[in-house]
Amino acid sequence: MKQFKIAIVGATGLVGRSVMKVLEERQLPIESYGLFASPKSAGTVFSISGKSYTVEELTENSFDRGFDFAIFSAGGETAKKYAPIAVAKGCIVIDNSSYFRMHDDVPLVVPEVNFEDALHHHGIIANPNCSTIQAMLPLKALDDKYHIKRVVYSTYQAVSGAGKDALYDLENIHGSVPLKKFPYPIYNNCLPQIDVFMDNGYTKEEMKMIHETRKILHKPDLKITATTVRVPVKNSHSESINVELEKNFEMEDLLYTLKSFPNLVLQNDTSSSLYPMAIHANGRDEVFVGRVRRDDSVSSGVNLWVVADNIRKGAASNAVQIMERLINNQC
């Protein structure tokens, strides 16, 4: 069996570290790794599957060593400059930034939902936004059976999604040192702003959820609105998703539809207060759904509470799963 060479760009970040952990757990046919970050991290040593690897400064020559795949988690500017170089050197790039996501020739992929799109790549495959990824599993399950008509997203997003500096702000409970990431304290607060504001009054994060959902589900005209909020939770995003359906449903069938979808776990028993929670989703690769109830304000509607580890399923694990499926396809 072929052994693969993998480059990890942004290896020192929260997502990059998680990528290394997930790769170690999954035991794929990997011969060696190359770890890359900014010059300030060069020389840092990480161990993967018992072997030590030294972080190198990312340069235009970084991809000259015959890597098969490069997983990028180093932001949009780095992806914009270096992903095309990696592709030109023969790598398949899986990029976690938003830079390529809406490009027509770049597939945007959640493996359980639209893996087939990944097979039509031209060198770059985009990993969707963390808050989009977890919503896709229950929405795809419902769309296949009942056809989704309209979606209302309200998110409760963890601080880890904003990177290392954001976690530092969460620990700043007395406000005694200057904030590094957020415009206001996140400790003991909720910020109804994730990313910058657009001309239409939505944030970029909200518009990402709207556009990415349409692209992944292949429903360019789907009616969607979103409010995304940063909450003082360290890790794992929670989302309230209100869905209007074209077809009528029996609740029992709908629950079965959700439960049967790959990597979607139904936690839905109000009699024992069983519902998804961030503290239980941490460290897991599945998406959890619960609080499933009929929305009586429309003819066929349902409310869902959806939780997942935003660093794992929302970023690192999703990227590794894409790579794993491509590897299995080539072997």
Interaction site with ligand A2P (CB under 6 A):
10-14, 16, 37-38, 40-41, 58, 74-75, 78, 163-164
Annotation says 122 is catalytic? no
Nearer to ligand A2P, 11 or 142 (CB): 11
Phi, psi of 103 (to 5 degrees): -70, 135
Nearer to ligand A2P, 69 or 72 (CB): 72
* Given 91, 121, 211, 237, the catalytic residue: 237
The helix (run of H) or strand (run of E) holding residue 6 is strand 4-9
CA atoms within 13 A on the CB side of 40: 3
* DSSP secondary structure code for residue 317 in this structure: H
Where do the DSSP E strands lie in 20-132? 30-37, 45-48, 51-54, 56-57, 69-72, 92-95, 124-126
Closest-by-Cβ residue to ligand A2P is: 13
Kindly state the smallest distance separating residue 77's Cβ from ligand A2P, in Å.
Answer: 7
Nearer to ligand A2P, 80 or 218 (CB): 80
Q: Which tokens belong to 185?
A: 């304290």
* Given 130, 174, 211, 218, the catalytic residue: 130
Kindly state the smallest distance separating residue 160's Cβ from ligand A2P, in Å.
Answer: 8
Nearer to ligand A2P, 93 or 113 (CB): 93
Q: How far is CA 1 from the centre of its chain?
A: 30
Residues 6+ apart with CB under 8 A from 27: 49
Question: Pick from 278, 119, 310, 114: which is nearest to 205 by CA?
Answer: 310
Question: Pick from 89, 94, 91: which is nearest to 107 by CA?
Answer: 94
Kindly state the smallest distance separating residue 157's Cβ from ligand A2P, in Å.
Answer: 15
Dist. CA 117–CA 58, nearest whole Å: 29
Nearer to ligand A2P, 47 or 270 (CB): 47
Kindly state the smallest distance separating residue 72's Cβ from ligand A2P, in Å.
Answer: 9
Kindly state the smallest distance separating residue 34's Cβ from ligand A2P, in Å.
Answer: 13
Annotation says 280 is catalytic? no
Nearer to ligand A2P, 21 or 325 (CB): 21
Kindly state the smallest distance separating residue 124's Cβ from ligand A2P, in Å.
Answer: 17
Q: Which amino acid is at 135?
A: A
Kindly state the smallest distance separating residue 179's Cβ from ligand A2P, in Å.
Answer: 15
Nearer to ligand A2P, 80 or 147 (CB): 80
Rg of the chain over all Cα atoms, to the nearest angstrom: 20
Q: Quick count: other Cβ atoms within 10 Å of Cβ 117?
A: 17
Q: Which tokens belong to 241?
A: 């998703």
Residue whose entry in the numeric block shows the structure tokens 């409970």: 173
Burial 238-276 (b: 16+ CB within 10 A, else e): bbebbbbbeeebeeeebbebbeebebbbbbbeeeeeebb
Which active-site residues does the annotation give?
Answer: 130, 237
